[in-house]
Amino acid sequence: MTSPHRDAVVSSDAEELILVDAADREIGFDTKERCHDGDGILHRAFSVFLLDSDGRVLLQQRAAGKRLWAGYWANSVCSHPRRGESMEVATSRRLAEELGLSVDLEFCFTFTYHARFGTFGSEHELCWVYLGTVDPGSITFNRTEIDAVRWVSPAELDGELAEHRERCAPWLHLEWERLRERLLPDGAA
């Protein structure tokens, strides 16, 4: 898959997302806009954490134009499979669209969460979490989706989540807690 121009618009509130039940069974489709209105509608999503060869984690600052959590720091890539898309196709598409990358991913776990962002709407997602490794020099991020990127060590991410929780997207807290146990089972930084 080729990556789009670094300023290309790659998502829309009109795209149809996959509605699921608590067991992740497809139960229908609705627009991204309606899935995030009010308290939200449970839909399928994914989060990707990219690491470099030193074990640092790539974080992205969500673009100022995002409806939910604009300007907040989040994991490397997060999005949704669209109607008719497998998770493999969706993650590959989004890695190319947001970071100009093609990466082999390892599935880690799924979890469900609900987070409200004031009057702007909510995330109510059954999220698949993935892990991949990448060369830091290969990234060219899409400025319609991302304002900034940076690499942090696991210890730096722990500190940031502890000291500046309000600067980070809510799913980052939940995912990192579980992923960190997998990456650093002995508690090492």
Confidence of residue 174 (pLDDT cuts 50, 70, 90): very high
Average pLDDT, the chain: 90
Q: Does residue 3 belong to any structural domain of this protein? A: no
Catalytic positions: 78, 125
Q: Which two tokens stand for residue 122?
A: 């909510």
Q: Does residue 145 belong to any structural domain of this protein? A: yes
Whether the Cβ atoms of residue 141 and residue 94 lie closer than 8 Å to each other:
no
Q: Does residue 188 belong to any structural domain of this protein? A: no
Q: Which two tokens stand for residue 71?
A: 């300007």
Give the H/E segment covering residue 66.
none
Tally of structural domains, the chain: 1
Query: Which residue segment(s) compose the domain that 71 sits in?
Result: 16-183
Whether the Cβ atoms of residue 19 and residue 30 lie closer than 8 Å to each other:
yes
Q: Is the pLDDT of residue 134 over 90?
A: yes
Q: Does residue 8 belong to any structural domain of this protein? A: no
Domain harbouring 104, CATH code: 3.90.79.10
CA-nearest of 48, 185, 183, 171 to 104 is 48
pTM of the model: 0.90
